[in-house]
Amino acid sequence: MATVYRKTEKGQAEIATRQHHLSMKLRSALIMVDGKRTDEELLRMIPGDGQELLQQLRDQGFIEVIAVTAQRSASNGAKPADSVPPPTESSFGQGPTGADFIALRQQAARFISEQLGPMGDDLAVRLEKAKAWADMKPVLTMAQRVLQDNRGPTTAEAFRIRFIDPY
């Protein structure tokens, strides 16, 4: 069974204000909780004893369970509900346009911010400034390298598959 957590009001306040002075490990784990990822996905992303960190966040009231699913998620291709639809045959290589471009840009910036925290702010800002796929693709490639160096190959691969490969 897979468990999905979300931040409580206390958890959201901690992200905004740092009033509870969580350790870097706990804060990083809290940032990754988004109400969509399962515990399995979170455990792959959280360094060290992720299970213990999630339990501490839950015990201290920073996160709460919102769903327990019988199906295990497949992060190797399963897309969240808010993901951008795949490109059509005619648009392949040109990148997304219009609302799809904006959605992809926002999702990529959010992914980077969640994974890298303040270290990813520059990349997220560069993404938000991109006006077309030609502007955005080099930033995505750079982000993949930064994720590889800082979060490991699994996270970098997930980023590449979701944001670069389809286009």
Q: What is the mean pLDDT of residues 3-23?
A: 91
Q: Domain boundary residue among 21, 41, 69? A: 69
Residue-wise pLDDT tens digits, 25-81:
999 899 889 888 888 889 888 888 889 999 999 999 999 988 877 654 444 444 443
User: Within a domain: residue 76?
Assistant: no
User: Within a domain: residue 77?
Assistant: no
Q: What are phi and psi of 97, to 5 degrees?
A: -135, 165
For residue 86, pLDDT over 60 is answered with no
Task: Provide the domain limits for residue 108.
Answer: 89-164
Of 60, 59, 63, whose CA–CA distance to 34 is shortest? 63
Binned at pLDDT 50, 70 and 90, residue 144 comes out as very high
Residue-wise pLDDT tens digits, 52-61:
999 999 999 9
Q: Which residue has the higher pLDDT, 88 or 45?
A: 45
Same domain assignment for residues 156 and 100: yes
pLDDT, position 92: 43
- Tally of structural domains, the chain: 2
User: Within a domain: residue 78?
Assistant: no
Q: What is the mean pLDDT of residues 14-23?
A: 91
User: Within a domain: residue 84?
Assistant: no
Same domain assignment for residues 62 and 121: no
User: Within a domain: residue 103?
Assistant: yes
In the chain the first and final C-alpha atoms are separated, in Å, by: 33
pLDDT, position 70: 62
User: What is the value of pTM for the model shown?
Assistant: 0.47
Binned at pLDDT 50, 70 and 90, residue 20 comes out as very high
- ∠ CA 42-105-35, nearest 5°, is 30
Same domain assignment for residues 93 and 160: yes
Same domain assignment for residues 94 and 52: no
CA distances to 148, 157, 159 from 75, in Å: 17, 11, 11
Residue-wise pLDDT tens digits, 99-141:
888 889 999 998 998 888 888 888 888 988 989 999 999 999 9
